[in-house]
């Protein structure tokens, strides 16, 4: 067999298992109705294969679990905090670490410190909590991702790239002094887990720095982005993902990270920056909103497991190869069956093109929300709406924002499910696809004002 034909089989074996419940279609029909057709409101007991999110759902290694026992719970100056500082410095390269309870804690602090009312914050597609905090601080988010990112079926190796013409136009239109920073997401979640190239990141950094605009990464999924750079960008094929992650961060002034993803822990996050003065101001806010500067929102054991997770994700390339390999396995099974989904297959999940699957539903009948519910009823597989409900309303006009992408995300937790779970998931998607005309639209019965997708309720039209 040629080497490239070898599979990516998991670089670990299973030591502990957690039983999951099998349910009947009738039970699931009642459960989704009780949950207001919102997969966020289902009880996990009623879920068979949980692909709601890859956030905080990873399986930790035995070494991480052992770290919980030796976590130092000192209120101030915890040993585990210093282990975390060392891990972030070694892997991400930022000297200053501000620990937070999770990613949005870091987003809150960064946005409040840098954004003034009336400022513009460009970014490569929005993420829900990130944009919320930018707007909450009085900023206006401006999408400067390349157009291809909004086209599910277009194959482009780096759909997360920034369109430098759009960025330059924004700078010309509003002036660099109205742009406190650019928010650059690695492996863009809402675009379908799509990477940006190193060349594009470097060019973005150079353009921004020529205008005095700092580059702040959302490095939440930098590892998966690094893997795609290694696989797709000339000159990186012989570099380790560890080297590539460090190089990604070298083209930035700081980063927010939700450690619940790449970093292989169930809770945690951080803000990391180069500028000691910005770090000082961030710590002053940290003690008001999160916790003391040597724990932020985390316990000592959380920080110990996180420090170990950061090392573990890059110790060898085998982990990320298997992680992305499993996502590709599911994606390829669906592509083979002709299911419309975002291509290329992303890093953390499969994104079904609900607009293409349910063309009989208008976007304000919430096709992705309805498809998510139908999938759950079919098999107990739980996905998540990533379309008009997630996009929310425009704060100025009050109208729905109509995103070009109307997707159902099936995110794959790290090191949790087997290939057989992927097979069952693919079979369920195919089943629902074959009966897609029977999926009807939904309407709101309760719509929260902010981040509505989390707690909204619906009924069938
Ligand atoms: O959920 P948090 O607060 O730890 O992190 C927020 C967050 C920031 N950036 C990005 C790219 C995310 O994906 C993200 C959280 N994502 C979730 C919860 C998800 O299900 O994708």
pLDDT digits (tens, 9 = 90+) for 78-109: 999 999 999 999 999 999 999 999 999 999 99
Average pLDDT over residues 51-78: 98
Residue with CA at minimum distance from ligand 1 atom 5: 103
Q: Which residues pair with 418 in a beta bridge?
A: none
Is 260 touching ligand 1 by the criterion CB < 6 Å? Answer: yes
Average pLDDT over residues 249-265: 98
CB 171 within 8 A of CB 204: no
- Phi, psi dihedrals of residue 350, rounded to the nearest 5°: -105, 135
Q: Which residues pair with 415 in a beta bridge?
A: none
Q: Taking every pair of C-alpha atoms in the chain, what is the biggest distance, in angstroms? A: 61
- In the reported structure, the alpha carbon of residue 53 is separated from the centroid of ligand 1 by a whole-number distance in angstroms of 9
Beta strand pairing call for 49-50 and 381-382: parallel
User: Omega into 344 within 30° of 0, i.e. cis?
Assistant: yes
- Active site amino acids: 75, 127-128, 218, 261, 386, 453
Average pLDDT over residues 70-79: 98
**Residue ranges in 222-317 assigned as alpha helix (H):** 222-232, 241-250, 276-289, 300-315
- In the reported structure, the alpha carbon of residue 388 is separated from the centroid of ligand 1 by a whole-number distance in angstroms of 18
Predicted confidence at residue 235, as pLDDT, reads 98
Q: What is the rounded CA–CA span in Å between residue 325 and residue 417?
A: 13
Closest ligand 1 atom to Cα of 221: 11
Predicted confidence at residue 8, as pLDDT, reads 85
What secondary structure does DSSP assign to 146-175, as a single string? -GGGG-TT---TTTT-B-HHHHHHHHHHH-
Is 130 touching ligand 1 by the criterion CB < 6 Å? Answer: yes
Residue with CA at minimum distance from ligand 1 atom 13: 189
Q: Which of 57, 110, 129, 194 has the most ligand 1 atoms within 8 A of CB, as the residue to mutate?
A: 129
Closest ligand 1 atom to Cα of 185: 11
Predicted confidence at residue 1, as pLDDT, reads 46
Q: Which residues pair with 97 in a beta bridge?
A: 272
Is 385 touching ligand 1 by the criterion CB < 6 Å? Answer: no
- Phi, psi dihedrals of residue 171, rounded to the nearest 5°: -60, -45
Q: What is the rounded CA–CA span in Å between residue 125 and residue 391?
A: 11
For residue 6, pLDDT over 80 is answered with no
Residue with CA at minimum distance from ligand 1 atom 16: 55
Ramachandran bin of 398, using left for φ above 0, alpha for ψ from -120 to 50, beta for the remaining angles: left
What secondary structure does DSSP assign to 343-402, as a single string? SS--SSEEEEEHHHH-TTS-GGG-HHHHHHHHHHHHHSEE-EEESHHHH-B-TTT-SBP-
95-145 pLDDT, tens per residue?
999 999 999 999 999 999 999 999 999 999 999 999 999 999 999 999 999
Q: What is the rounded CA–CA span in Å between residue 298 and residue 302?
A: 6
Lookup: tokens for 336: 């083979």
Predicted confidence at residue 412, as pLDDT, reads 98
Q: Which of 56, 103, 132 has the most ligand 1 atoms within 8 A of CB, as the residue to mutate?
A: 103
Task: Give the right CATH number for 63-314 from 3.10.580.10, 3.30.413.10, 3.30.565.10, 3.40.640.10.
Answer: 3.40.640.10
- In the reported structure, the alpha carbon of residue 188 is separated from the centroid of ligand 1 by a whole-number distance in angstroms of 11
Q: Which residues contact 284 (CB under 8 A, 6 or more apart)?
A: none
Residue with CA at minimum distance from ligand 1 atom 8: 103
Average pLDDT over residues 300-306: 98
Q: Which of 189, 265, 327 has the most ligand 1 atoms within 8 A of CB, as the residue to mutate?
A: 189
Percent of the chain at pLDDT > 70 equals 99
Question: Where does residue 447 rank: exposed (0-12), middle (13-18), buried (19+ CB within 10 A)?
Answer: middle
Is 192 touching ligand 1 by the criterion CB < 6 Å? Answer: no
For residue 182, pLDDT over 50 is answered with yes
For residue 3, pLDDT over 80 is answered with no
Closest ligand 1 atom to Cα of 104: 3
Predicted confidence at residue 4, as pLDDT, reads 64
Question: Where does residue 318 rank: exposed (0-12), middle (13-18), buried (19+ CB within 10 A)?
Answer: middle
Beta strand pairing call for 457-460 and 384-386: unpaired
For residue 404, pLDDT over 90 is answered with yes
- In the reported structure, the alpha carbon of residue 224 is separated from the centroid of ligand 1 by a whole-number distance in angstroms of 14
Predicted confidence at residue 320, as pLDDT, reads 98
CB 185 within 8 A of CB 160: yes
For residue 204, pLDDT over 90 is answered with yes
Residue spans of the domains in the chain: they are 25-54+318-460, 63-314
Average pLDDT over residues 165-189: 98
- State the average pLDDT for the chain: 97
Predicted confidence at residue 395, as pLDDT, reads 87
Is 185 touching ligand 1 by the criterion CB < 6 Å? Answer: yes
Q: Which residues pair with 258 in a beta bridge?
A: 269
Closest CA to 320 of 218, 232, 227, 257: 227
Beta strand pairing call for 215-218 and 254-258: parallel
Q: Which of 57, 220, 412 has the most ligand 1 atoms within 8 A of CB, as the residue to mutate?
A: 220
Q: What is the rounded CA–CA span in Å between residue 193 and residue 346?
A: 4
Q: What is the rounded CA–CA span in Å between residue 246 and residue 375?
A: 39
Task: Give the right CATH number for 25-54+318-460 from 3.90.1150.10, 3.30.420.40, 3.40.190.10, 1.10.287.110.
Answer: 3.90.1150.10
- Phi, psi dihedrals of residue 82, rounded to the nearest 5°: -70, -30
Name the pTM for this structure: 0.96
Closest CA to 213 of 119, 308, 99, 98: 119
319-337 pLDDT, tens per residue?
999 999 999 999 999 999 9
For residue 21, pLDDT over 90 is answered with no
């Amino acid at each position: 067999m040629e080497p490239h034909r070898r599979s990516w089989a998991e670089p670990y074996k299973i030591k502990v298992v957690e039983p999951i419940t099998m349910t009947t279609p009738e039970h699931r029909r009642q459960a989704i109705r009780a949950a207001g057709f919102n997969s966020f409101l289902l009880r996990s007991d009623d879920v068979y294969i949980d692909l709601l999110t890859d956030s905080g759902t990873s399986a930790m290694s035995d070494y991480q679990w052992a770290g919980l026992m030796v976590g130092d719970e000192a209120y101030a100056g915890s040993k585990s905090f210093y282990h975390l500082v060392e891990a972030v410095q070694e892997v991400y390269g930022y000297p200053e670490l501000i620990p937070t309870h999770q990613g949005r804690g870091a987003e809150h602090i960064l946005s409040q410190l840098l954004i003034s009312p009336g400022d513009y914050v460009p970014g490569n597609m929005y993420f829900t909590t990130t944009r919320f905090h930018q707007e909450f601080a009085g900023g206006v988010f401006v999408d400067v991702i390349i157009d291809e990112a909004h086209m599910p079926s277009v194959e482009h190796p780096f759909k997360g790239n920034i369109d430098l013409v759009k960025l330059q136009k924004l700078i010309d239109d509003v002036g660099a002094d109205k742009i406190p920073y650019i928010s650059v997401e690695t492996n863009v979640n809402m675009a379908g887990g799509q990477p940006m190239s190193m060349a594009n990141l470097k060019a973005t950094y150079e353009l921004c720095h020529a205008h005095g605009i700092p580059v702040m990464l959302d490095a939440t999924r930098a590892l998966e982005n690094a893997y795609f750079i290694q696989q797709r960008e000339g000159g990186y094929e012989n570099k380790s993902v560890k080297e590539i992650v460090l190089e990604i961060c070298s083209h930035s002034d700081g980063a927010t990270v939700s450690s619940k993803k790449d970093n292989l822990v169930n809770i945690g996050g951080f803000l990391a920056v180069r500028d000691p003065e910005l770090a000082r101001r961030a710590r002053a806010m940290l003690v008001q909103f999160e916790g003391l500067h040597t724990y932020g929102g985390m316990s000592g054991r959380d920080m110990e497991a996180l420090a170990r997770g950061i090392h573990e994700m890059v110790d060898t390339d085998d982990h990320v190869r298997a992680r992305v390999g499993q996502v590709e396995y599911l994606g390829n099974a669906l592509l083979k069956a002709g299911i419309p989904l975002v291509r290329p297959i992303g890093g953390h999940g499969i994104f079904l093109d609900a607009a293409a699957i349910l063309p009989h539903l208008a976007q304000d009948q919430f096709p992705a929300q309805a498809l998510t519910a139908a999938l759950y009823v079919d098999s107990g597989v739980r996905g998540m709406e990533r379309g008009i409900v997630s996009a929310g309303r425009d704060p100025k006009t009050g109208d729905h924002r109509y995103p070009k992408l109307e997707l159902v995300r099936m995110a794959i937790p790290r090191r949790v499910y087997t290939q057989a779970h992927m097979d069952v998931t693919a079979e369920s998607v195919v089943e629902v696809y074959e009966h897609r005309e029977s999926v009807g639209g939904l309407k709101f019965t309760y719509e929260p004002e902010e981040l509505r997708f989390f707690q909204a309720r619906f009924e069938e039209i």
